[in-house]
Structure 1
Amino acid sequence: MIERAMFRPLFSILLPSRNRLELLKHALASIQIQDFSDFEVIVSDNASDPPYADDLEAFASLNVRIVRSDTPLSVTRNWNVAIEAARGDYAIMLGDDDALTPGLLSRLSASIRKFDKPDVIYQMAYHYAYPGVFESEQNGYFCSVNDTGLFDLADEPYELEISLARKLGRQALNFHHEVSFNAQHFVWKLDYVRKIGFAPFFQSPYPDYFACFATFLTAAKIVVVPSPEIIIGIAKQSFGFYFANSRQAEGTQQFLGEQIDDEGLAGGDQRTLEALRHPGSVHTRSWLVAALFVKRALGSQNAVSVDVRRYSRIQAFELAQRAGYLRTLGSEEFWADFKELSPRGQAYTKALLRTFRTLGRVHGFHKPSISHGLFTLLNIYHTPKIHTIDIGPHDNIMDPVRWLARDPANDIVVAPPDSEVVVLSRQLQALNSELSQIHAEHGAALAERDAILSQIHAEHGAALAERDAILSQIHAEHGAALAERDAIVNSSYWRAISPIRNFILRLRRI
């Protein structure tokens, strides 16, 4: 009898993991309930203690192969170990805190046949947060997340125009997050991966960012699936937990561990080197590093560039906002970072700091909301459409998997969010109702007010006429000054500062 391992399966499901056996078992359980069998599972055991091999006997039917490292590797290296061991036609990167939805492999197989074996399938995802991950969501949550305009272009899977794919790839290198960069959104054809022109496939401390950028810049055929097909998990043991709770530096040290040669990566470009040494968010720096790795991997023939000026301004914005407005960065720490900037960077950051300090003196604002509003001015992230799904009590990621298996129609038929016109109409209707109620309750008082005003005008008509005469006299005597004022108001300078004056007026109305 020929062993199954000699066949080339359609899918290689990659499960890199280290010391997270319980999470790994949930991921394997989501594979176990699939109604499709043409796959292999590769568990890349990153020096777990104890090893996984003896604890996965319950999943023997899944054609699991364990590839074990004797010493701990970075996440990027472990991902490469997994994909290099793959024997299938397509690779699915499934983190050990993630899960497949019921029937996913059958649906993917149908799309592969329909579109004649595309290089890549890019699919929407659900997000599942374990209880206790988010302080504001202690019970956790399950939701579908539409975080790219690609999922709004059609209701069924479709082939993406290559010109748009290339544009999205270039935008990502220039710090515009118009598609989700997580690896779980992708299903890669392994022939494409092995002929892409560089190796390894995963590079930089953010391997999924690197692979995403490179994919949109090089793949010849990308199929977009505009429905949630995979569940991205966020557990306390995952990097996502540290990222969600603003502990990126700690998470980077624990999970990523890639050492970067700044000078080598900059390739002799002084502005790039200054950007790499710019203090600020660890996450944003890792994004820059991934972009620079892509630029180096693709070479000059692809004519890609990385906007290090925009990167530096984003980092300066975050530093100044944290120090001058949110007050989450101490003065001593800020000025220590400030000394690391170039003279041009110092001037820009100091100007931002003054602005945020001025804004911070205005009382009555909800600072997190204002901070988020200001951050949106940088135009970094595509505004996501999030639909929370009530699955009842839950403890782990298999609860939403079972919920979808029990009644998958419940999460697919989701009422679209109200349009802006509908929302405004409802608000206007509520205001009109409120005004009608006020008029009904205070009609007598309003009538009395009008009578008093009429009486005042009757009794003091002469005084009002005298006031108008005085104003006319002032205008006659000071016509030149008024004309000068009109000249200023109509000047280009006054028009130039109009946004600032309008902003101040809006602040006064809040």
Structure 2
Amino acid sequence: MRKFNIVIPTKDRCETLEWTLRSCLAIEYPNFEIIVSDNCSEDQTAEIVQSFSDSRIKYYRTPEKLGMTANWEFALSKVQEGMVSILGDDDAFMPDSLQRINRLLDESQTDAIAWKQSFYRWPSNHFVRIKNLLSIPFDRKVEIRQGRLELQSLISLKRLPADMPWLYAGFVDIRYIRQIKDLCDGNFFFSKIPDIYSSIVLASVIDRYVFSSYPLSIAGHSSKSNGAAQIQSSEHVAEQNSQFLKESTSHPFHEKLEFVHVYPVLIWECYLQAKEKNIIPDGIQFNPQFMLDEAVRDCIRLNFLDRDKDLLRAIAIKNNLRLRMPEYKTMVWLANKSYKVRTYLSTWLSNHFLRCDAYGIDNIFEAANHHRSLEQEVTSRWQMILGNIQLLIKTL
């Protein structure tokens, strides 16, 4: 029977970590372990973990405060055997997740899996208008994918990191981690963005993996989520963004780039780091000018252009590339609004949204426990769309 290792790096998030741990302990599978890597938390993290008194939980505290990547490396070093995944400290597994994952691995005869996640907006998430909201992907497809083909699609921005075999929202056999460590002087991570980096290096060494459009975990968006803070441009999150960058000095951003928080730049950075470690397989085509052009487009879409244009200009100079910026503010405004409309429609037409207040749910553990019954509330895409429209009307 496979052993599954759920690794939870954490720092000062005991208020969500408690519910994440509760979701893991409710998993209906006999052979798994939870590894909590506490990055010198100053809140009640240690007390929360110890209060469970469960032998399946292994608690480790880092010897000093580390950046996110270094903490992930520390946590990963505690896994000895079996399959490994990294779970956010505001995320959750469903009770039947490991049973389903184990069955999919058996049926596909693979030792790596990735999946789409459901998303839960915590009541404390002040970045969003509608809080305490659960979204569940409607698709239920399962497919076998080829690692190197998907890697090329990622580098060409036709796929997202979440489509790869990665450690976040995925399980891989620990032997792949060791294979990469053997190539890199005993370390696995070499990027400030460890989740995206894991998608690139694992796709480089894994031939086949199974991908499930059916959700097998829930990604939580809380007020302290790094990703949620990094994509905000408002001043009230500037301090949190600055702290993230300051604590990540052990893994500096690649010297040929600047830290611009859009996918083309993040993928570019992870690719360069992996390329320098000779992990990227032969034959992968990479186009720096294309990546810079797409970075500009993403900055326009996300309304980051004024904030990050000097950084984009520096990237162009460092790489001897042409920086193609829009000449008219009207074009920027139209591109931004068009992107928002398309993204909004795509999201609300492909996911079932539920106000958790209506079900007495106010944390991700309860959302995970009710997930399977909630996903059965809709049986057709039109029923889902109608429900989403009704939810939006009530919110306005």
TM-score, length basis structure 1:
0.63
Does structure 2 conserve the Cα–Cα contact (< 8 Å) formed by 1:9 and 1:40? no
Against the structure 1 CA distance between its residues 10 and 236, is the aligned structure 2 distance closer, same or farther, given a 3 Å change threshold?
same
Kindly provide the amino acid, as one letter, of the partner of residue 36 in structure 1. Y
Matches within 5 A, 1:372-391: 372=340, 385-391=350-356
**Whole-angstrom distance in 2 between the partners of 1:79 and 1:347:** 35
Against the structure 1 CA distance between its residues 400 and 54, is the aligned structure 2 distance closer, same or farther, given a 3 Å change threshold?
closer
Q: Does 1:285 align with 2:254?
A: no
Does structure 2 conserve the Cα–Cα contact (< 8 Å) formed by 1:14 and 1:92? yes
Aligned length in residues:
372
Against the structure 1 CA distance between its residues 26 and 288, is the aligned structure 2 distance closer, same or farther, given a 3 Å change threshold?
same
Against the structure 1 CA distance between its residues 340 and 312, is the aligned structure 2 distance closer, same or farther, given a 3 Å change threshold?
closer
3-state SS of the aligned residue for 2:243?
A: helix
2:114 to 122, 146, 151: 122
Gaps of 5+ in 2: 387-396
Matches within 5 A, 1:2-401: 10-49=3-42, 52-116=45-109, 118-133=110-125, 135-145=127-137, 154=141, 157-160=142-145, 162=146, 165-178=147-160, 180=162, 183-196=167-180, 197-199=182-184, 200-246=187-233, 251-255=240-244, 257-259=247-249, 265=254, 273=256, 276-277=257-258, 281=261, 284-299=264-279, 301-317=281-297, 329=306, 342=317, 348-349=324-325, 352-354=326-328, 356-357=329-330, 369-372=337-340, 385-391=350-356, 392=358, 393-401=360-368
3-state SS of the aligned residue for 1:77?
A: helix
**Whole-angstrom distance in 1 between the partners of 2:83 and 2:339:** 42
Gaps of 5+ in 1: 1-7, 267-272, 424-510
Offset at residue 242 of structure 1 (A): 0.7
Q: Per-residue displacement from partner, 1:293-323 (whole Å, max 9, x unpaired)?
A: 222234475333432111221233456678x
Offset at residue 209 of structure 1 (A): 0.5
Does structure 1 conserve the Cα–Cα contact (< 8 Å) formed by 2:115 and 2:212? yes
Against the structure 1 CA distance between its residues 299 and 166, is the aligned structure 2 distance closer, same or farther, given a 3 Å change threshold?
closer
Kindly provide the amino acid, as one letter, of the partner of residue 316 in structure 1. V
In the alignment, what sits opposite 2:389? none
CA RMSD of aligned residues (A): 3.8
**Whole-angstrom distance in 2 between the partners of 1:299 and 1:73:** 25
Against the structure 1 CA distance between its residues 337 and 209, is the aligned structure 2 distance closer, same or farther, given a 3 Å change threshold?
closer
Q: Per-residue displacement from partner, 1:270-295 (whole Å, max 9, x unpaired)?
A: xxx3xx15x85466533321121222
**Whole-angstrom distance in 1 between the partners of 2:111 and 2:243:** 33
Against the structure 1 CA distance between its residues 225 and 177, is the aligned structure 2 distance closer, same or farther, given a 3 Å change threshold?
closer
**Whole-angstrom distance in 2 between the partners of 1:179 and 1:338:** 25
Offset at residue 411 of structure 1 (A): 0.3
Against the structure 1 CA distance between its residues 71 and 11, is the aligned structure 2 distance closer, same or farther, given a 3 Å change threshold?
same
Kindly provide the amino acid, as one letter, of the partner of residue 329 in structure 1. D
In the alignment, what sits opposite 2:374? 410
3-state SS of the aligned residue for 1:348?
A: coil
Offset at residue 95 of structure 1 (A): 1.1
TM-score, length basis structure 2:
0.79
Kindly provide the amino acid, as one letter, of the partner of residue 176 in structure 1. K
**Whole-angstrom distance in 2 between the partners of 1:384 and 1:252:** 31
Offset at residue 336 of structure 1 (A): 9.1
**Whole-angstrom distance in 2 between the partners of 1:91 and 1:340:** 35
Kindly provide the amino acid, as one letter, of the partner of residue 170 in structure 1. Q
Does structure 1 conserve the Cα–Cα contact (< 8 Å) formed by 2:120 and 2:132? yes
Offset at residue 77 of structure 1 (A): 1.1
Kindly provide the amino acid, as one letter, of the partner of residue 198 in structure 1. L
Against the structure 1 CA distance between its residues 334 and 68, is the aligned structure 2 distance closer, same or farther, given a 3 Å change threshold?
closer
**Whole-angstrom distance in 1 between the partners of 2:315 and 2:143:** 48
Offset at residue 394 of structure 1 (A): 3.2
